[in-house]
Chain A
């Protein structure tokens, strides 16, 4: 019997490797109508070839394992960054179940969002009744200070008009007239989750700041994170601003929402940017966005409607962080404190200590555009060589910016940018032109299995490792974290490759 030891109960990871299950699997094959092992091996080999790579890259209609999600996911991540804000997704309800599960699996935190639960009748008659009823119900049940509405592809295809629906819902007393219900149209067939983030931030800011423009500035700097899933990054930005004595507003600060303490009491809306602070962001000195492609429309809006300067600064690696601090110093006149200089020195010290293990290492990476640019900045400054860069939600501006960055370093010369491509393309790249290391989210584990390329998990989602999102990738401390993850993965791999006694273990060194 399989569970023959009650003190060593075996779950799936071991249970099914016992003889009785192995026999079961063998017997089942009789009914499966499968291919011969030889045929499977032959095709498996073929998928590793250049010929296959060419076929793979020739596809025009099929997408396999893309590294991008759809707009509303980003929109609701933006929404929960504001004080007591309930995201309301107008459309069919299954989407919200998916969004909530996805975020919950990554952050291991509750994530609240409601849907207007549109069904066939709404497909025919439009979703206005769902909006009227839905806003009233969620307002009464979940007592938010703001409800941020975005759409699914269903609502977009039938052409529901959020502005009209919300104002009709207010007229029907679903929520008080003065209650903020910002909105964003977030069709899933345009852009990706980063587009949705951008649209929602813009929707919320334009709602909250309407009529709040003052003559004088409030002396603050606005920060907009973008589709940021590292709680540590938001905390690090705040710490830096505090150390520099900069008066700031972090817009869409979801760091407490996505990392709330366990006190034995559940709070639905921990933390978030105060609505009055968000409303006053129109009067700030300037806005710094930490991602460019997740804030494009928002920055355009801020520049044109608020008449406020915006900047993009990615505080990744040493130089990226330097630039951010200098930008902040230039904008505020505040000096960069000694303490940060010391932190910088420690991070540089760590990089120089490890550089030998990184120099010339060939790296493949994938993820959102801004994440990828930040990582490339870091890799270039430690002497690693980006080789394959896959970005499913790419665009021409991004590719131009990334190319310029790569061209600025001798270590970027061998890189190829694969915009609009997916992880099945990357699989071909890894087989035909192998690299030393792969950087990306949890979905990369399938590439790790197939190609044996060691994987460093950086990005979103990370479902299969715990708590990485609590760390920072920004700032000098973030540089040490990136270094730590990357160099120690390489060292783990080296150990794994030198572990066979009397064969490879001559290099199984104690000191690295």
Chain B
């Protein structure tokens, strides 16, 4: 299935001479690498030229050792992103204590439920491996701890086993334990082979997590179907796939889908439940927000169950309207008419937001660097506020992400894949964007450079940013970052050197 067509008109193109200049900058920046590393890195940096079918960078290969990548690991992709937000299951960080500890409540996947009773999203469950577990294996401990947790948390709907590095290395058979434990507690137990050393980033963890859903959860739908025991469905049933409900994003999206007359029967996986996941193959259309993390399961559902899927973008009114129309076009005229009504309904709200904030933001330049979707999807939201994107790149995007990115960016945009801290800092020093939109590890580096910053993984503890309601918050937040008077305090009145802000 093709991605949605873009109705977007980017701001005026960069002067042509910017391209050779930016290419020269890239060359200069990577000069400091040892030869071998330089050869690797130069393939990941480029300048987008209009008309090209992708951004001209290599992606999804191993990071250069010692280069301070921002990437995480497969465990982070599976437990931290895909499985962790499923609220009524208990996700065991299986292995030593650290991985579960560092990923504990770090991602603001909002949910409604009674934590510790019927919801477990902001808790840390771990097998806390000690040396003896490494030596003798952790299978027995795992089986025991699953029975223990089921006794202490009887309302859990299931368990997932998120493998940390040692599990694969010592050869534990978590699949066998999962089968045995499922029998003992009478619930779904999912083994996930997401050891951190697998693959080159969290991206493989998303894929592994998707495969685990396919192999360990969907068989329940298949069984229910065989037994003629699937829930009632309607012609308007859809699932939200790949929205982790950061700051409530999935809710501010869901409300729009329901307003246009669709019935959202499952949310993957922010505020999601096992029941919603199991029942998803009954929907008529899968709506995919984070393509990078969940295209796999969407493709699987297309092949196995004949469910089409559509990638949509709910950042900024231009893309929200385009996406709502695209989504409605897959349904009948009633839905299409309602989509128009909804777009019209929110027009006043959107106009007020833009009227207030665009004058404060127009012409400001942005450098983006986020995970696997936002380096392209948030671009139109900036454009809606009159802001201009001068550089973007993914932590863990793949080639198809860079192809899709061309729809969103303009000629001359600097592209950096898996950018190292060194490169990012060097690019920013030269290009002097007005705002950096990236992650927590980058935030204070750039703020020390007197540059306004917003965290675009976590919305800097704000949000939601999705949907019309989210766009208002997005606009407000960009304004509060860019136009804070604190930036002007950084230079002392008695020193002559000027700072960037």
A401 within 8 A of B: no
**CB–CB B104/A157 < 8 A:** no
**CB–CB A63/B126 < 8 A:** yes
B99 within 8 A of A: yes
Q: Which of B144-152, B210-218, B327-335, B403-411 contacts A (4 or more CB under 8 A)?
A: B144-152
Using known A-B contacts A43-B155, A68-B97, determine if residue A115 contacts B69 with beta carbons closer than 8 Å: yes
A167 within 8 A of B: no
B500 within 8 A of A: yes
- In Å, the complex CA distance between A99 and B475 comes to 31
**CB–CB B196/A154 < 8 A:** yes
**CB–CB A70/B71 < 8 A:** no
Choose from B123, B197, B463, B490 the contact partner of A263 (Cβ within 8 Å): B490
Using known A-B contacts A93-B73, A264-B500, determine if residue A158 contacts B349 with beta carbons closer than 8 Å: no
- In Å, the complex CA distance between A47 and B374 comes to 41
Residue-wise, chain A 94-115 has the 8 Å CB interface mask toward B (1 for contact) of: 1101111110110011111111
Choose from B64, B129, B258, B499 the contact partner of A27 (Cβ within 8 Å): B258
Choose from B123, B248, B443 the contact partner of A16 (Cβ within 8 Å): B248
- In Å, the complex CA distance between A116 and B76 comes to 18
- By beta carbon, the residue of chain A nearest B168 is A123
Residues of B within 8 A of A265 (CB): 448-449, 499
Taking the closest CB of chain B, its distance from the CB of A190, in whole angstroms, is: 6
Using known A-B contacts A65-B124, A130-B65, A264-B491, determine if residue A11 contacts B463 with beta carbons closer than 8 Å: yes
Taking the closest CB of chain B, its distance from the CB of A11, in whole angstroms, is: 5
- In Å, the complex CA distance between A66 and B104 comes to 10
A118 within 8 A of B: yes
**CB–CB B450/A120 < 8 A:** no
A141 within 8 A of B: yes
Residues of B within 8 A of A110 (CB): 441, 444-445, 448
- In Å, the complex CA distance between A153 and B73 comes to 14
Residues of B within 8 A of A28 (CB): 254, 264, 267, 271
- In Å, the complex CA distance between A9 and B354 comes to 13
**CB–CB B66/A154 < 8 A:** no
Residues of B within 8 A of A100 (CB): 441
8 A Cβ contacts from B40-88 to A: 62-76, 88
**CB–CB B165/A153 < 8 A:** yes
A450 within 8 A of B: yes
- In Å, the complex CA distance between A93 and B425 comes to 20
- In Å, the complex CA distance between A449 and B122 comes to 13
A415 within 8 A of B: no
- In Å, the complex CA distance between A113 and B475 comes to 33
Residues of A within 8 A of B273 (CB): 31-34
A472 within 8 A of B: no
A61 within 8 A of B: yes
Residues of A within 8 A of B141 (CB): 61
- In Å, the complex CA distance between A109 and B117 comes to 36
A69 within 8 A of B: yes
8 A Cβ contacts from A436-480 to B: 443, 446, 449-450
Choose from A4, A133, A450 the contact partner of B349 (Cβ within 8 Å): A4
B483 within 8 A of A: no
Choose from A113, A135, A157 the contact partner of B165 (Cβ within 8 Å): A157
Residues of A within 8 A of B185 (CB): none
- In Å, the complex CA distance between A63 and B130 comes to 12
Q: Which of B3-11, B292-300, B307-315, B465-473 contacts A (4 or more CB under 8 A)?
A: B465-473
**CB–CB B448/A260 < 8 A:** yes
**CB–CB B196/A95 < 8 A:** yes
- In Å, the complex CA distance between A10 and B470 comes to 9
8 A Cβ contacts from A198-237 to B: none
- In Å, the complex CA distance between A68 and B130 comes to 13
A164 within 8 A of B: no
Q: How many residues of A contact B (CB 8 A)?
A: 108
A485 within 8 A of B: no
Taking the closest CB of chain A, its distance from the CB of B396, in whole angstroms, is: 11
- By beta carbon, the residue of chain A nearest B499 is A264
8 A Cβ contacts from B113-154 to A: 113-118, 122-131, 133-134, 141-142, 144-145, 148-149, 151-152, 154
B380 within 8 A of A: no
Taking the closest CB of chain A, its distance from the CB of B83, in whole angstroms, is: 15
B198 within 8 A of A: yes
> Which of A43, A47, A64, A424 is most buried by chain B, counting CB atoms within 10 A of its CB?
A64
Choose from A4, A24, A93, A263 the contact partner of B63 (Cβ within 8 Å): A93
Using known A-B contacts A21-B255, A33-B275, A266-B449, determine if residue A189 contacts B154 with beta carbons closer than 8 Å: no
Choose from A55, A105, A116, A424 the contact partner of B65 (Cβ within 8 Å): A116
> Which of A63, A102, A192 is most buried by chain B, counting CB atoms within 10 A of its CB?
A63
Taking the closest CB of chain B, its distance from the CB of A98, in whole angstroms, is: 3
Residue-wise, chain A 397-429 has the 8 Å CB interface mask toward B (1 for contact) of: 000000000000000000000000000100100
**CB–CB B444/A66 < 8 A:** no
- In Å, the complex CA distance between A136 and B36 comes to 10
- By beta carbon, the residue of chain B nearest A60 is B144
Using known A-B contacts A1-B346, A43-B154, determine if residue A93 contacts B69 with beta carbons closer than 8 Å: yes
**CB–CB A157/B67 < 8 A:** no
Choose from A27, A139, A446 the contact partner of B115 (Cβ within 8 Å): A446
Residue-wise, chain B 251-277 has the 8 Å CB interface mask toward A (1 for contact) of: 110110010000011110001011110
Taking the closest CB of chain A, its distance from the CB of B305, in whole angstroms, is: 17
- In Å, the complex CA distance between A150 and B482 comes to 39
**CB–CB A133/B65 < 8 A:** yes
A197 within 8 A of B: no
**11 more A-B residue pairs beyond the given contacts A31-B276, A119-B198, A134-B65, with a C-beta to C-beta distance below 8 A:** A2-B469, A62-B127, A69-B98, A70-B96, A95-B99, A115-B69, A117-B64, A133-B36, A154-B169, A260-B448, A263-B490
8 pairs from A and B in contact (CB 8 Å cutoff):
A28-B271, A34-B88, A60-B144, A92-B197, A114-B67, A117-B67, A189-B131, A262-B490
A interface residues with partner B (beta carbon < 8 Å): 1-4, 6-7, 9-12, 15-16, 20-21, 24-25, 27-28, 31-35, 39-40, 43-44, 47, 52, 55-56, 59-66, 68-70, 72-73, 88, 91-95, 97-102, 104-105, 108-120, 122-123, 130-131, 133-142, 152-154, 157-158, 187-190, 192, 260, 262-267, 424, 427, 443, 446, 449-450
